[in-house]
Amino acid sequence: MTALADPMGFLLFTKGPLFNIAIAIFALGLAARLAEILLLGRRPNFAEPRAGEWLPGLRTVVTRTLPDPGTFKRAPFNVLTGLIWHLGFLVALLLFIPHIELIKGLFGISWPGLPNPFVDLVTAVTLVALAATLVHRLTHPVKQRLSTIEDYLVWAVTFLVVLTGYLAYNRLINPYPLALGLHILTAELFLIILPFTKLTHIFTAFIARWYNGASFGRRGVQS
């Protein structure tokens, strides 16, 4: 029985050597990106601060995360589908019990999960919302011109991770080791491209929002 030639071999390959490679690239790449951003820092500001940085920074993290009425009125579709699939993705990623077990197995920390059928429903909604974003991107004249290959690559990998997870949970691909192997494989692709594409925003978005708020706060500007 040679590895990879069969579904179980494939699953064990994705769970073993390939996972090690993917997580190493991810950890190395992400740490490099973050270290670069944080070490480069910002130009020192010698002006007298007019107010604190921390509170406005944190407030902006919240306010920029929640859609504001103006943006919503201008682009309701973007805001709504964007919010739906991001939330759905996070619920499926962080509150599905097998994922919690994975994190627990790696880092020893865990938290309560949600019942599987609920996560299943959320995943289905996420898939629909993700598909809608692609249709919108392909049909909207401005988005169409703005989109690069990277945008489509990131969309495809994200969609495939969710799709294979959904198929595996509902056992729509047989045998199951193949389904689970495909899901793990796409998740590994996601991890590998994460530090080198716009997916890095998973880690930098909140830093950027905090920085904006902190900068405003320091200058005494409402954010």
- Closest among 67, 129, 121 to 95, alpha carbons compared: 121
Nearer to another protein, 80 or 178 (CB): 178
Instruction: Identify the residue among 64, 86, 99, 219 touching another protein (CB under 8 A).
Output: 99
Q: Which stretch binds another protein (CB under 8 A): 21-29, 63-71, 81-89, 198-206?
A: 21-29
Q: Count the neighbouring beta carbons within 10 Å of the beta carbon of residue 176.
A: 13
If the CB atoms of residues 30 and 129 are measured against another protein, the closer one turns out to be 30
Question: Is 31 a binder of another protein (CB under 8 A)?
Answer: yes
Residue appearing with tokens 């919240």: 62
Return the DSSP state at 49: P
Q: Which one of residues 49, 52, 175, 220 is an interface residue with another protein (CB under 8 A)?
A: 175
Residue 206 CB contacts under 8 Å (≥ 6 apart), including other chains: 61
> Which span sits near another protein by CB under 8 A: 14-22, 49-57, 74-82, 127-135?
14-22
**What is the residue whose two structure tokens read 């796409």?**
186
Contact between 14 and 191 under an 8 Å Cβ cutoff? The reply is: no
121 scored as a contact of another protein (CB under 8 A)? no
> Of the candidates 162, 185, 161, 158, which has an alpha carbon nearest to the alpha carbon of residue 11?
185
Binding site for another protein (CB under 8 A): 1, 3, 6-9, 11-12, 15-16, 19-20, 23-37, 39-40, 97-99, 101-102, 104-108, 113-118, 171, 175-177, 180
